[in-house]
């Protein structure tokens, strides 16, 4: 946590009111997201109990599992959920447009991408567990399931994988969206409680933040937003309702079964409806925050990723994603996630002065006044050609922790401006950072007016996330036996009697 973030939390605690820590909302927020609130029984990870789902506040749909420990009922639940989710996804697979690359090549891409919102990170984990359970199921042979079940599993896995990548907006936790923009006076763990976060940001009318926080901890007033239900609720109410449902189902009495099922639906509905209403209140708050300029660029990347996965599914030869990456796949994924974090953090700092100040406080960026400049400096390139490379000396009071040679971009200069740190000299409470301008100067012989900062100008710089080369990974067939031993025990395999054994899948 940076000094700025820590100070914002302390000020929020002192004033008992959440404080904005960004000027913009850095994620795309759809006008019609698919809101999903998954519930699982406390102590029954991977056993779905219910889900409330819908695209508008006034039209929620509640899907329940009468007996979460019964695999047949779980997959009936998955099929019903799959119909809703796939209907929403298919609505985004209707309109395409042609995109032309810089090389002149043209390709077709969907104009939009789905967006699923869940209450917290636990909701993402619940969907990931359900996706893994469903995507390996067979539609023929012993214990077949509906065709939509493995399809739902593959798409849920795609969405939950995308949620790991910084900057994407196809699957988001609302608590993360809220705490990305507002600082509360509580811990990051408590920030995963949707009711607690909303108590800091927008407590109910006539209720103080202190009282709203106490109410948020009361499962009677605000039932947990999932994915686990309250253990007290399970022991005192849910257990007996499920027991009654099982008894009515085994008796064969249709009237008794319908009554028991309705009682269970009403009981679960009362637990989940408060979260449903709060989710839409939070979405309305987030819509009031202006969207960052670079969010549109990241949304285009979401559309491209969505199109690629959709087209692969349409080939007829699509395989479910691996349960676990192999060595090369894991390295590729790690590299992709690291680069996405760097790019997203740079975009946020480039767009948002609040985020830039946060990074400056920990030495990941700096700003200061230009004290000296050599606008006409020329050096000899590696190809023995003279090139324009102006030098700028910047006096800054920020902590300077960027190494010499770090490639830089600047939110205070023109588009395309790039520089490189040449050296840093500490001078009591300040530092003198010398940078070399390497791009964005226009004409090769003389810099365009404004492309090199003049004396006395205040400029800011941060690391360029794209200057590192993309790593090269070995082909799967060239890996040593230490990374391909198939006889080693699988320490991550499930011991559940209903678990599916993965014997094949995609490389990544």
Whether the model pTM is above 0.95: no
- How far is it, in rounded angstroms, from Cα 22 to Cα 24? 6
CA geometry: angle 297, 298, 303, nearest 5 deg: 100
Closest CA to 366 of 388, 339, 393, 390: 393
Output 124 or 445, whichever has higher pLDDT.
Answer: 124
Decide: helix, strand or coil at residue 447.
coil
- Give residue-wise pLDDT tens across range 69-116: 888 899 999 999 999 999 999 999 999 998 887 777 888 899 999 999
- Give residue-wise pLDDT tens across range 339-381: 999 999 999 999 999 999 999 999 999 999 999 999 888 888 8
Tokens of 59: 């039209």
- How far is it, in rounded angstroms, from Cα 67 to Cα 241? 10
Indicate if the pLDDT at residue 226 is higher than 60: yes
Contacts of 206 by beta carbon, 8 Å cutoff, 6+ apart: none
Sheet with 171-173: list strands edge to edge. 61-64, 48-54, 34-40, 116-118, 171-173
- How far is it, in rounded angstroms, from Cα 370 to Cα 197? 42
Compute CA distances 463 → 19, 73, 140, 478, whole Å: 27, 52, 53, 35
Indicate if the pLDDT at residue 486 is higher than 60: no
- How far is it, in rounded angstroms, from Cα 61 to Cα 51? 8
The predicted model gives 177-197 an average pLDDT of 94
- How far is it, in rounded angstroms, from Cα 126 to Cα 226? 9
DSSP calls for 458-503: EEEEEE-TT-SPPP----GGGS-GGGT-SSS--TT----TTPPPP-
Structure confidence at residue 294 (pLDDT): 93
Domains in the chain: boundaries: 3-323, 348-463
Indicate if the pLDDT at residue 325 is higher than 90: no
DSSP 95: -
CATH architecture of 348-463: Beta Barrel (2.40)
């Amino acid at each position: 946590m940076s000094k700025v973030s820590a100070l914002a939390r302390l000020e929020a605690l002192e004033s008992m009111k959440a404080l904005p820590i960004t000027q913009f909302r850095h994620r795309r927020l759809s006008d019609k997201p698919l809101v999903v609130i998954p519930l699982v029984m406390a102590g029954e990870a991977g056993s779905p109990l219910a889900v409330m789902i819908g695209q508008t506040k006034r039209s929620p749909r509640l899907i329940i599992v009468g007996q979460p420990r019964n695999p047949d009922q779980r997959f009936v639940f998955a099929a019903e959920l799959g119909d809703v989710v796939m209907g929403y996804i298919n609505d985004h697979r209707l309109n395409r447009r042609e995109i032309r690359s810089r090389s002149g090549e043209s390709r077709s891409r969907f104009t939009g991408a789905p967006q699923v919102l869940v209450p917290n990170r636990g909701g993402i984990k619940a969907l990931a567990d359900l996706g893994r359970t469903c995507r390996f199921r067979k539609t023929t042979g012993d214990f077949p399931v509906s065709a939509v079940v493995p399809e739902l599993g593959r798409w849920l896995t795609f969405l939950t994988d995308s949620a790991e990548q910084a900057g994407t907006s196809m699957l988001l936790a609302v608590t993360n969206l809220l705490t990305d923009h507002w600082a509360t006076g509580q811990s990051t763990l408590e920030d995963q409680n949707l009711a607690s976060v909303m108590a800091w940001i927008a407590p109910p009318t006539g209720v103080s933040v202190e009282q709203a926080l106490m109410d948020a901890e009361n499962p009677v007033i605000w039932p947990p937003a999932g994915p686990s239900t309250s253990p007290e609720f399970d022991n005192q109410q849910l257990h007996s309702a499920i027991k009654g449902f099982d008894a009515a189902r085994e008796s064969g009495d249709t009237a008794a079964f319908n009554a028991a099922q309705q009682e269970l639906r009403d009981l679960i509905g009362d637990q989940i409806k408060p979260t449903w209403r709060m989710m839409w209140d939070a979405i309305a708050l987030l819509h009031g925050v202006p969207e960052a300029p670079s969010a549109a660029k990241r949304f285009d990347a979401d559309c491209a990723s969505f199109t690629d996965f959709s087209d692969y599914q349409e080939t007829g030869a699509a395989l479910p994603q691996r349960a676990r990456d192999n060595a090369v796949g894991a390295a590729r994924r790690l590299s992709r996630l690291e680069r996405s974090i760097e790019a997203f953090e740079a975009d946020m700092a480039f767009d948002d002065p609040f985020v830039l100040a946060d990074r400056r406080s920990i030495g990941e960026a700096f700003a200061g006044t230009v004290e000296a400049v050599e606008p006409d400096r020329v050096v000899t390139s590696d190809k023995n050609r003279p090139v324009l490379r102006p030098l700028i000396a910047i006096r800054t009071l920020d902590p300077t922790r960027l190494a010499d040679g770090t490639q830089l971009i600047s939110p205070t200069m023109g588009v395309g401006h790039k520089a490189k740190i040449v050296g840093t000299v500490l001078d009591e409470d300040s530092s003198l950072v010398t940078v070399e301008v390497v791009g964005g100067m226009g004409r090769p012989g003389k810099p365009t007016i404004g492309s090199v900062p003049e004396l006395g100008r205040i400029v800011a710089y941060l690391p360029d996330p794209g200057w590192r080369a993309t790593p090269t990974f070995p082909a799967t067939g060239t890996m040593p036996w230490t990374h391909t031993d198939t006889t080693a025990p699988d320490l991550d395999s499930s011991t559940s009697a209903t678990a599916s054994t993965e014997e094949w899948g995609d490389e990544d």
